[in-house]
Chains A and B, each alone.
Chain A
Amino acid sequence: GDSVTQMEGPVTLSEEAFLTINCTYTATGYPSLFWYVQYPGEGLQLLLKATKADDKGSNKGFEATYRKETTSFHLEKGSVQVSDSAVYFCALLNQAGTALIFGKGTTLSVSS
Chain B
Amino acid sequence: NAGVTQTPKFQVLKTGQSMTLQCAQDMNHEYMSWYRQDPGMGLRLIHYSVGAGITDQGEVPNGYNVSRSTTEDFPLRLLSAAPSQTSVYFCASLPSRPPGELFFGEGSRLTVL
Known: A43-B90, A43-B107. A100 touches B42 (CB 8 A): no
**A44, B94: Cβ atoms closer than 8 Å:** no
Residues of B within 8 A of A (CB): 31, 33, 35, 40-45, 48, 50, 56, 58-59, 90, 92, 94, 96, 99-102, 104-107
Nearest neighbor of A97 in chain B, beta-carbon distance? B99
Return the 6 tightest CB-CB contacts between A and B, nearest first. A104-B42, A102-B43, A99-B48, A93-B100, A43-B104, A105-B42
Name, among A51, A98, A101, the residue most crowded by chain B CB atoms within 10 Å (CB to CB). Answer: A98
Main secondary structure of the interface of A (DSSP, over half): strand
Give the complex CA separation of A43 and B31 in angstroms: 19
**Pair count A-B, CB < 8 A:** 63
**B31, A99: Cβ atoms closer than 8 Å:** yes
**What bracket does the count of chain A residues touching chain B fall in?**
20 to 34
Fill in one digit per residue for A60-103: 1 if any B CB lies within 8 Å of its CB, else 0.
Answer: 00000000000000000000000000000101010011111111
Residue among A43, A46, A101, A105 making CB contact with B101, cutoff 8 Å: A46
Name, among B45, B90, B99, B106, the residue most crowded by chain A CB atoms within 10 Å (CB to CB). Answer: B99
Residues of A within 8 A of B (CB): 6, 32, 34, 36, 43-46, 49, 51, 89, 91, 93, 96-105
**B102, A46: Cβ atoms closer than 8 Å:** yes
Nearest neighbor of A38 in chain B, beta-carbon distance? B37
